[in-house]
A and B are shown apart, each in its own frame.
Chain A
Amino acid sequence: MSNAETPTVVMDKDILSDSIGAGQSRAAEPKVEGQTPTAKGGVSRRRFLQIVGATSAGAALAGCADDKSQLLKPRVKSEGGQIPGVPVWYSSTCTECSAGCGISIKTVDGRAIKVEGAKDHPVNGGGLCALGQSSLQSLYDPDRIRQPLKRTGEKYGVGQFAPISWDEALATVAEQLGKGGSESVFLTGEVSGAHLALMQDVSRELKIRHTVYDAMQPIALTQAAERVYGVREIPQFEFGEADVIVNFGADFLETWVSPVEYARGWAKGRRRELPAKTFHIEPRLSLTGGNADQWICANPGTEVRIALAVLKEVALRTAGANVSSELRTYIAGITKGVSVASVADEAGITAAKIERLIAELVGAKAPLVLAGGSAESTERALELQVLVALINTVIGAVGKTVLVGQGRRVDSSLEGVTALVDRLNEGAVGTLVIHGTNPAFTLPGDLSFRTAVRKARKVVSLATHLDETAQLADIILPSHAGLESWGLHTIRAGVYSLQQPAMAPVFDTRDVGDIIISLVTMLGVTLPQAGTEGSFRAYVKDFWLSISETWKRGDDLERFWHESLAKGGHLVKEAPALAEAVTVDALPTAFAPPHFGDHRSSHEELVVYPFSSVKTFDGRAANRPWLQELPDPMTSAVWDAWVELHPDTAAALKVAQGNVVAVRNHFGELRGPVLITPYIARGVAGIPLGQGHTAYGRYASSVGKGNVFDLIGRPKGGTLPLVSARAEVSRIAERHTLVTLAGSDSQHGRGLARTTHLTAAGAPLLAHNEHGSSHGGSSGHHEPKQMYEQREHPVYRWGMAIDLAACTGCAACVVACYAENNIPTVGKELCSKGREMSWLRIEKYIDTEGHGEGEEFTVNFLPMMCQHCNNAPCEPVCPVYATYHNEEGLNAMVYNRCVGTRYCSNNCSYKVRRFNWVDIEVPEPLSWQINPDVTKRSMGVMEKCTFCVQRIVEAKDTAKDEGRFVNDGEIQPACAQSCPTQAIVFGNLNDPDSRVSKLSGDKRAYKVLDHHINTQPAVSYLNDIKYRL
Chain B
Amino acid sequence: MKRSFRYLFIIAVSFFVGTFGVLVDDGQLCLAGDKAVAQAQQAGGSSSTAGEQPASLGIPQQSLPGYPAQGVRTGVFNDGQAALWDLHIIDHFRYFGPAQRARGHRPEQPINFSHIVHVQGNKMECQYCHWNVSKSPYAAIPDVELCMGCHKMVGSADPAANAEIEKLKQYWAKGEPIPWKKVHVMPDYLRFNHKRHVKGGVTCHECHGQVGEMPVVERVSSMKMGWCIDCHRQRGTSIDCATCHH
Contacts and interface: CB of A to CB of B under 8 A. Distances in A.
Co-complex (A, B): yes
A63 to B, nearest CB: 6
A19 B178 CA distance: 21
Interface string A56-69: 00101101101101
A960 B237 CA distance: 13
B163 to A, nearest CB: 21
A521 interface: no
Given A83-B135, A950-B246, A961-B199, A895 B189 contact: yes
Interface in B125-139: 132, 135-138
B7 A886 contact: no
Contacts, number: 136
A71 interface: yes
A15 B190 CA distance: 10
A735 interface: no
A69 B181 contact: yes
B240 interface: yes
Contacts of B190: 896
A73 B187 contact: no
Interface residues of A, number: 48
Interface string B86-126: 01001000001111110000010000000000000000000
Interface residues of B, number: 48
Contacts of B182: 14, 70-72
Interface stretch (B24-32, B41-49, B142-150): B142-150
A894 interface: yes
B7 A72 contact: no
Interface in A975-1008: none
A933 interface: yes
A934 B138 CA distance: 14
B179 A83 contact: no
Given A64-B98, A76-B176, A953 B241 contact: no
B148 to A, nearest CB: 9
A74 B142 contact: yes
Interface in B5-56: 7
A935 B143 contact: no
Contacts of A742: none
A604 interface: no
A946 interface: yes
B245 A70 contact: no
Interface string B170-186: 01100111111110010
Contacts of A71: 179-182
A74 B99 CA distance: 23
Name the residue in B7, B142, B189 with the highest tally of chain A Cβ atoms < 10 Å from its Cβ.
Answer: B189
A734 interface: no
Interface in B210-241: 240-241
Main secondary structure of the interface of A (DSSP, over half): loop
B180 A73 contact: yes
A75 B143 contact: yes
A573 interface: no
A882 to B, nearest CB: 9
Contacts of A66: 98, 185, 187-188
Contact of A74 (B90, B135, B137, B177): B177
Nearest to A895: B189
B100 A949 contact: no
Contacts of B167: none
A63 B241 CA distance: 18
Name the residue in A67, A85, A894, A960 with the highest tally of chain B Cβ atoms < 10 Å from its Cβ.
Answer: A85
B178 A63 contact: no
B233 to A, nearest CB: 15
Given A72-B182, A74-B142, A936 B177 contact: no
A155 B180 CA distance: 51
Given A895-B245, A896-B189, A960-B196, A85 B138 contact: yes
Given A66-B98, A75-B177, A77-B144, A950 B191 contact: yes
A72 B141 contact: yes
Contacts of A950: 191, 246
A624 B182 CA distance: 35
B99 to A, nearest CB: 8
A72 B132 CA distance: 15
B246 A892 contact: yes
A888 B242 CA distance: 10
Given A76-B176, A77-B143, A70 B181 contact: yes
B98 A63 contact: yes
A13 B177 CA distance: 11
A78 interface: yes
A67 B145 contact: no
Contacts of B202: none
B63 interface: no
Contact of A78 (B98, B145, B177): B145
B193 interface: yes
A72 B180 contact: yes
A12 interface: yes
Interface in A625-670: none
B191 A18 contact: no
Contacts of A897: 241, 245
Nearest to A58: B7
14 contacts: A15-B188, A63-B98, A67-B98, A67-B100, A71-B182, A83-B132, A83-B135, A83-B136, A884-B241, A892-B242, A896-B189, A935-B191, A946-B242, A953-B193
Given A64-B98, A83-B140, A957-B196, 14 more contacts: A19-B188, A63-B97, A64-B96, A71-B182, A72-B180, A73-B179, A74-B144, A76-B172, A86-B136, A895-B245, A953-B193, A957-B193, A960-B199, A961-B199
6 A-B pairs with the lowest CB-CB distances in the bound complex, closest first: A85-B138, A67-B98, A73-B177, A892-B242, A74-B141, A70-B182
